[in-house]
Amino acid sequence: MGSQDQITTNTLDKPKPSPLLGLSLEELTNWVVERDQPAYRGKQLHDWIYHKGARSLNDISVFSKQWRSSVADFPIGRSLIHFRSQATDGTVKYLLKLADGQIVEAVGIPTDKRLTVCVSTQVGCPMACDFCATGKGGFLRNLAAYEIIDQVLTVQADFQRRVSHIVFMGMGEPLLNTDSVLKAIKSLNQDVGIGQRCMTVSTVGIRDRIRKFAQHQLQVTLAVSLHASNQALRAKLIPSASNYPIQDLLTECREYVQVTGRRVSFEYILLAGVNDLPEQAVELAQLLRGFQCHVNLIPYNPIAEAEYKRPSSRAIQDFTSILTQHQIAVSVRYSRGLDANAACGQLRTTQV
């Protein structure tokens, strides 16, 4: 091998420094001390990364120029806003460009009292749910913890308001990327300062993953996407469910409640003529009888790639009433920002 080849190979082999976002106060303190700075600089670095919106070490003016240039290779790990779309109800959807050029979606959902961020956990999603735009686009990769935390900081900075709640309901199946999700929850709680009880992790249900997730004894809410009142229909809508009977899923959900003391909510996307019939409401009520839970009914937002339709207001009302008559706690959640392509994955499919 000639010297030219040697140089090229060595350059390619050089590992890229890891982003600092996601490191705890203690880890950042160790990091600055290892680089000849006094320990109190760690607290300053932590403050600038998590609370003052630093996007690069060069932004941190309390550090000397000389030291900043000596660590200039270390990225903080922030994304760029590639596209931003605001709905009339104030919901803002973002397409964020990551360091490798991949795009993920995040959504900021404001009310008077809350600012909720819906975060993605994967680029794309391997679950291929039949009604979902993200699922139609396939799977590219898991997000790292810092790429999840970044979504929250980006929305917080753009709204110039503190984020109060986080829902892990964007692109991807969070329990297929549990390591990053757990790290992100820890950092969003301890470094950004958002209570675990204000976080909801959504899953379509992967065998044994809810059981394992429960062992971490978090105080987050688990939202399980049920979408059907029986196994046969569920397997049609969610391909992976064919190997995971609905009763086994409910057993794991009961274990989650027992181990964590937290309630489980069930998400149910209402698809006209598919899963919104009165007899299916009765079947769902029987399935969940005796389970301390809450059902969120989500009227479907149609997408170009699937033929499902949104039920009529009458059908939604009837379904809700039947669950209530059976003592099931239920609410109807309309996706915010419909006029900005609100449904999961839709913004990405139309803008990239």
Active-site residues, by number, are 105, 344
288 is in an annotated binding site: no
Question: Residue 271 interacts with ligand SF4 (CB under 6 A)?
Answer: no
Question: Residue 42 interacts with ligand SF4 (CB under 6 A)?
Answer: no
The nearest distance, CB 204 to ligand SF4, in angstroms, is 4
The nearest distance, CB 172 to ligand SF4, in angstroms, is 6
3-state secondary structure 56-102: EHHHCCCCCHHHHHHCCCCECCCCEEEEEEECCCCCEEEEEECCCCC
Q: Which of 49, 104, 129, 287 binds ligand SF4 (CB under 6 A)?
A: 129
Q: Which of 87, 98, 170, 107 is nearest to 135 (CA)?
A: 170
253 is in an annotated binding site: no
Rounded to whole angstroms, the maximal C-alpha distance in the chain is 79
Residue 307 dihedral angles phi and psi, to the nearest 5°: -95, 5
Q: Which of 306, 168, 142 is nearest to 236 (CA)?
A: 306
Alpha helices (runs of H) in the chain, residue ranges in sequence order? 3-13, 25-34, 40-50, 65-70, 133-136, 145-159, 178-187, 209-214, 231-237, 246-260, 278-287, 313-325, 346-351
132 is in an annotated binding site: yes
Total interface residues for ligand SF4 by CB under 6 A: 12
Q: Which is nearer to ligand SF4, 173 or 252 (CB)?
A: 173
The nearest distance, CB 173 to ligand SF4, in angstroms, is 5
Q: Which of 350, 349, 337, 352 is nearest to 93 (CA)?
A: 337
For residue 350, which amino acid is it?
A: T
Residues 306-325 that bind ligand SF4 (CB under 6 A): none
* Radius of gyration in angstroms for the set of CA atoms belonging to the chain, rounded to a whole number: 22
| DSSP H or E run through 123 | strand 122-124
Q: Which residues contact 34 (CB under 8 A, 6 or more apart)?
A: none
The nearest distance, CB 325 to ligand SF4, in angstroms, is 29
Q: Which of 104, 106, 119, 132 binds ligand SF4 (CB under 6 A)?
A: 132
Question: Which range, of 124-132, 254-262, 276-284, 316-324, touches ligand SF4 by CB under 6 A?
Answer: 124-132
Residues 193-222 that bind ligand SF4 (CB under 6 A): 204
> CA-CA distances (angstroms) from residue 186 to 146, 148, 204?
11, 12, 22
271 is in an annotated binding site: no
301 is in an annotated binding site: yes
Question: Which range, of 74-82, 95-103, 131-139, 256-264, touches ligand SF4 by CB under 6 A?
Answer: 131-139
Q: Which of 20, 226, 344, 347 binds ligand SF4 (CB under 6 A)?
A: 344
Question: Which range, of 159-167, 168-176, 270-278, 292-300, touches ligand SF4 by CB under 6 A?
Answer: 168-176
Nearest residue to ligand SF4 by CB is 135
125 is in an annotated binding site: yes
The nearest distance, CB 50 to ligand SF4, in angstroms, is 28
CB hemisphere CA count around 347 (13 angstroms): 29
Question: Residue 171 interacts with ligand SF4 (CB under 6 A)?
Answer: yes
Sign of CA dihedral 17, 19, 23, 28: positive
> CA-CA distances (angstroms) from residue 104 to 120, 191, 314, 352?
7, 23, 35, 10
30 is in an annotated binding site: no
Question: Residue 173 interacts with ligand SF4 (CB under 6 A)?
Answer: yes
227 is in an annotated binding site: yes
Q: Which of 19, 22, 135, 205 binds ligand SF4 (CB under 6 A)?
A: 135
β-strand 122-124 against 264-270: which pairing, if any?
unpaired
Question: Residue 134 interacts with ligand SF4 (CB under 6 A)?
Answer: yes
Burial of 20 (0-12, 13-18, 19+ CB in 10 A): buried
Q: Which residues belong to the annotated binding site for [4Fe-4S] cluster?
A: 125, 129, 132
Q: Which residues belong to the annotated binding site?
A: 125, 129, 132, 172-173, 202, 225-227, 301
| Binding region for ligand SF4 (CB under 6 A) | 125, 127-129, 132, 134-135, 171-173, 204, 344
Q: Which residues belong to the annotated binding site for S-adenosyl-L-methionine?
A: 172-173, 202, 225-227, 301
